[in-house]
C-alpha cells in the first residue's frame, strides 16, 4: 500500500507497530545492559531474556488485529499473501535446520535467523505486490 492510499486500519496498524518497535529498542538495550552487568541467575535471568520478545509478539498481534479490522478485502488479501509467504519461508528454514541437526549433527542456525527470514520474505512479498498493483494516474 502506498502512502497516499492507506486505509484507516492500516494507519492504526502502523501506529501500533511504531509503538511496539520503540518499546523493543528500549527493552532490548535495557535487557542487554542488565544481563551483561547484573550477574543475573534464575528467574531474573529468564525474565530479562524473555522480555525483548514481548514487543515482537505485540507486532505479530498487531498484524492479526490489522487482518481482523481491515475492511478493504483486496488490501487484506495482499497482506495475507505476504504473511503466508513469510510463514512458508520460516517453516521451510526450520525444517532444513531440523533435518541438518538430526542427520548431519550440524549446529542449529544462529538465533533469530528464522524471524529475520520471515520478516524479510514478508517485506519483499509485500513490496513486489505493491509494485504489481501500483495504480496509474486517475482518470
Partner 1 sequence: MNNRLRVLRAERGWSQADLAEKLEVSRQSVNAIETGRYDPSLPLAFRIARLFGASIEAIFQEEEQR
Contacting positions for partner 1 (CB under 8 A): 1-2, 5, 7, 71-75, 77, 133, 135-136, 138-139
Nearer to partner 1, 8 or 38 (CB): 8
Report, in Å, the least distance between residue 23 CB and partner 1.
Answer: 29
Nearer to partner 1, 1 or 119 (CB): 1
Report, in Å, the least distance between residue 70 CB and partner 1.
Answer: 10
Report, in Å, the least distance between residue 84 CB and partner 1.
Answer: 17
CB 82 within 8 A of CB 129: yes
> What three-state secondary structure class fits 106?
coil
Nearer to partner 1, 7 or 14 (CB): 7
Nearer to partner 1, 41 or 135 (CB): 135
DSSP, residue by residue, 8-45: HHHHHHHHHHHHHHHHHHHHHHHHHHHHHHS---HHHH
CB 79 within 8 A of CB 66: yes
Report, in Å, the least distance between residue 131 CB and partner 1.
Answer: 12
Report, in Å, the least distance between residue 73 CB and partner 1.
Answer: 6
H or E element, residue 70: none
Nearer to partner 1, 19 or 69 (CB): 69
CB 19 within 8 A of CB 54: no
Residues 6+ apart with CB under 8 A from 48: 31, 34, 35, 38, 40
Amino acid at each position: 500500500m502506498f502512502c497516499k492510499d492507506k486505509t484507516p486500519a492500516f494507519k492504526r496498524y502502523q501506529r501500533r507497530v511504531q509503538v511496539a518497535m520503540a518499546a523493543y529498542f528500549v527493552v532490548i538495550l535495557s535487557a542487554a545492559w542488565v544481563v551483561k552487568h547484573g550477574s543475573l541467575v534464575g528467574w531474573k535471568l529468564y525474565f530479562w531474556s524473555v522480555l525483548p520478545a514481548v514487543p515482537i509478539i505485540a507486532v505479530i498481534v498487531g498484524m492479526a488485529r490489522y487482518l481482523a479490522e481491515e475492511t478493504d478485502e483486496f488490501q487484506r488479501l495482499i497482506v495475507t499473501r505476504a504473511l503466508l509467504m513469510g510463514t512458508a519461508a520460516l517453516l521451510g528454514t526450520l525444517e532444513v535446520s531440523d533435518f541438518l541437526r538430526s542427520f548431519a549433527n550440524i549446529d542449529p542456525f544462529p538465533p533469530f535467523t528464522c524471524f529475520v527470514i520471515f520478516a524479510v520474505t514478508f517485506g519483499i512479498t509485500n513490496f513486489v505486490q505493491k509494485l504489481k498493483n501500483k495504480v496509474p494516474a486517475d482518470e
